[in-house]
Amino acid sequence: MQPQLVADRSGSVHAVWLSGSPSASDVQYARLNPDGSSLASAPIRVNSQPGSAIGIGTIRGPQLALDAAGTAHVVWNGSGTAQPRPAKSSPLLYTRRPAGADAFEAQRNLIQSTTDLDGGGSIAVDSQSRIHVFWHAGDGKETTREDRRRVFTVTSTDGGKHFDSERPIDAGDGTGVCGCCGLRAGTDSRGRVFVVYRGARELMHRGTYVLESDASGTRFQGRLLQDWVTGSCPMSLPALFDGTSGMNLAWETEGKIFGRIGSKAPTDAPQRLVDGPRARHPSAATNRRGETLLVWTEDTGWNRGGKLGWRVFAADGRPTDQAGVREGLPVWTFPGVAALADGSFVIAY
């Protein structure tokens, strides 16, 4: 369930995903063979406590980031029995595996003071090898109100040995965060850190926002990408990926996928990338030629599977005729995608 594929600097593709019960899952890690057709070795269980991850809801899967030394850093939302457990919240769990190590370290909870963790967290490593982990939660006061939720972060400057205390990075002006939607983080070639998430202003404006850091990765500024007036949480995920022409994004609005892909993508009005039906949970990767493969789900819902959709976009952002839809997407999952060293793509689901 809920795979994520990440290509390292050499072109090798690393994967994390959930296995087992959706309510008490295990996080698995493996590398793919160079052609992407199979695993290069047996999977390694990431979580040190069995069943300590959660897959129900589709928006809380594990997130992987690789640093320059080849260390794999993984973060995930803890299940109902996961330990260690903070007060008034599920844990946000983290571990790492240095390059060449046989196993991941014991899992650790990164939450100290925030409450009511819900939608999935994310992780990114910047050009200075600083590790940034993000999630949204309550601040311990009005924790049940979505329009008062905040985006929080912790940072490690020593390769994941220690993290500082969590701090909010959004404006805190009532924009809020949609409780059951996940967020995604990433970095670009200039070292800036980005976070994409869904707001909940006045509990009716659930548009998509992006936060962008300065070069130090400490101060963030946010802007609205696209509004969506709806009173209910759509339970979806955005996509954030570094293309050859800059940071690219994709997100759901009203059952369609919008975003920014390619060198000629507009900076203001978002592109309509996918019309549906009920398109959601996008993921994307860009190859060395600048082509992007966008994947998504169709017709999925609570405890309901659906279809897998994909389309290749040219380097300038134009959609190509390399596209398709496949039946049989299982429940509680979405596709992951990566570009291989030869410029082709691999999709996992």
What does each of the 349 residues of the chain score in pLDDT, given as a tens digit? 999 999 998 889 999 999 999 999 999 999 999 999 999 989 999 999 999 999 999 999 999 999 999 999 999 999 999 988 888 899 999 999 999 999 999 999 999 999 999 999 999 999 889 999 999 998 777 566 899 999 999 999 999 999 999 999 998 889 999 999 999 999 987 788 999 999 999 999 999 999 999 888 889 999 999 999 998 899 999 999 887 667 899 999 999 999 999 866 556 689 999 987 899 999 999 999 999 999 999 999 999 999 999 999 999 999 999 999 999 999 999 999 999 999 999 999 9
Cβ atoms of 227 and 207 closer than 8 Å: yes
Measure the CA–CA gap between 14 and 40, rounded to whole angstroms. Answer: 10
As to burial, measured by CB atoms within 10 angstroms (0-12 exposed, 13-18 middle, 19+ buried), residue 309 is buried
Could you tell me where the DSSP H helices lie in 50-108?
none
What type of residue sits at position 37? S
DSSP state of 148: G
Question: What pLDDT does residue 245 have?
Answer: 62
Tokens of 93: 């769990």
Tokens of 349: 């689901």
Q: How far is CA 247 from CA 108, 162, 212, 266, in A?
A: 30, 28, 10, 12
Question: What pLDDT does residue 263 have?
Answer: 67
- The number of CA neighbours under 13 Å toward the Cβ of 56 is 10
Measure the CA–CA gap between 46 and 76, rounded to whole angstroms. Answer: 10
Question: C-alpha dihedral over 103, 109, 110, 116, to 10 degrees?
Answer: 140
Question: What pLDDT does residue 302 have?
Answer: 94
- The number of CA neighbours under 13 Å toward the Cβ of 54 is 21
* C-alpha torsion sign, points 30, 34, 39, 42: negative
DSSP state of 336: E
Tokens of 150: 């905040």
Question: What pLDDT does residue 266 have?
Answer: 56
Task: Flag whether the pTM goes above 0.85.
Answer: yes
Measure the CA–CA gap between 99 and 114, rounded to whole angstroms. Answer: 32
Question: What pLDDT does residue 216 have?
Answer: 80
Question: What pLDDT does residue 218 have?
Answer: 85
Q: How far is CA 219 from CA 98, 138, 233, in A?
A: 29, 20, 28
Question: What pLDDT does residue 172 have?
Answer: 87
